[in-house]
Amino acid sequence: MNASSPSASRRWLAVLAIALGSFAFVTTEYMPVGVLPSIAADLGVTPGTAGLMTTTPGIIAAISAPVLLLVAGRLNRRLILLLLSAALVASNGVSALATDFTTMLAGRALLGVSLGGFWTVALGVSGQIVAEDESARASATIFMGITLATVIGVPLGTFIAGLSTWRVSFFATAALALAALLLQAMLLPDLPPRAAARIGDFGRMLARTTVLRSLLLVALLFGAHFCAYTYIAPFLEVDAVLGAAWVTALLLGFGIVGFLSNFVASAFVKSHPRLSLAATTALVIASLLALPAFAHVAGAVVAGVLAWGVAYGAIPLCLSVWMQLTSPKQPEAASALFVSAVQTAIAAGSLAGGIAVDRAGAAGAMHLGVLLSALGMAVLASFATKRRSLAAVLDR
């Protein structure tokens, strides 16, 4: 495929439309993080209980990712992406109109159904839309939507809620999801499946110890992040005693440095995946230790949040590349397992973090994140390569 041809340009626009969709999905998933105290107060629940707004879609997405891939069979992936994007619009509408916590969880459950399938299909077809030698850049572009969600999505939702209410934030995300849906309808090419996924494919992958350990690594590192990040707003407001403007600014800063970190990591993550993960995980540990220890030192809080943003900005891409190395011939199945592990970790991490917050405050959730990150480092160290390449070790 000639990269300068009109068809190639249109295909890259299609990749950007999917990236906008991933931005809308992750913005919706993370939306409660920045406005959690307001939602909890309005719907009459504790901040820890309100964390179920993150746990619920995570649990459902973990199940829906492989199930949707199996049910989809040989359905055109373009149609699947459009249906899932439409479900995202509906999810935001239900959440925006919720008058009780049960209705809110129903809207978040619909998000979970669509989220797991979208990530799986989007990451799996990225190599189909553009030339094969550009597939890594296409995946990085789709992940750009995820990092942009932390740059713009969460702090923008917090900012909008500050000007009006958290309900308007969800309406704004619904409008964003609708824009992504329309662009995908106009730009996505025909995307026939390369092969229908079968239960046996997952069984064979899960029978390999390298895949199981890799999934554990994914779960631990994502769980470490979300058990703490879900409750960053209460930490900044209560422990660090910062006002709403500071909270919005720090969430924005977290996302900006994470966005830049994603692009820096994309340059060398394929050649040095283990070193990339070790460095970023060590930075997460340092940040989560420093923040509670220096909560009343404004400069230290700013530095800690930004360092955390740098680390997390690279981790999703690093782990996605790691999982693809485990099963290079089954990209959709590898993506489905990756998404399931991620969403399970988000659900379990935010739930465990909520328990820690209700019992020991936001600092307790951060200390739990340190423990999970340390366990992740131990799993990472278990992949001894000796003289063989890491790719050879993982693809066993």
For residue 283, which phi and psi values (nearest 5 degrees)?
-70, -35
Which pLDDT does position 32 carry in this prediction?
A: 80
Supply 198's token pair. Answer: 């079968």
For the segment 9-13, the average pLDDT, to the nearest whole number, is 85
Q: Which amino acid is at 385?
A: T
234 vs 362: CA distance, rounded Å: 7
Q: Return the higher-pLDDT residue of 395 and 319.
A: 319
pLDDT in tens, 162-187: 888 899 999 999 999 999 999 999 99
pLDDT band at 218 (very low <50, low <70, confident <90, very high): very high
pLDDT in tens, 248-295: 788 888 888 888 887 788 777 777 888 999 999 999 999 999 999 999
Report the alpha-carbon angle 62-68-74, nearest 5: 150
211 within 8 A of 337, measured Cβ to Cβ: yes
Q: Which CATH architecture has domain 6-394?
A: Up-down Bundle (1.20)
Q: Which residues of 216-242 are buried (b: 16+ CB within 10 A; e: fewer)?
A: bbbbbbbbbbbbbbbbbbbbbbbbbeb
Kindly give the residue spans of alpha helices, DSSP state H, lying in the chain: 6-43, 47-50, 52-72, 77-97, 101-129, 135-148, 154-163, 166-187, 199-206, 209-229, 232-234, 244-266, 273-293, 298-326, 331-381, 390-394
Quickly count: other Cβ atoms within 10 Å of residue 253's Cβ. 16
pLDDT in tens, 92-103: 999 999 999 999
Of 40-44, 135-139, 149-153, 242-246, which range is least confident? 149-153
For the segment 239-253, the average pLDDT, to the nearest whole number, is 84
Quickly count: other Cβ atoms within 10 Å of residue 189's Cβ. 12
pLDDT band at 79 (very low <50, low <70, confident <90, very high): very high
pTM of the predicted model as reported, rounded to 2 decimal places? 0.77
302 vs 193: CA distance, rounded Å: 46
Kindly compute the dihedral angle of the four CA atoms of residues 197, 57, 111, 119, in this order, to the nearest 10 degrees: -40
53 vs 48: CA distance, rounded Å: 10
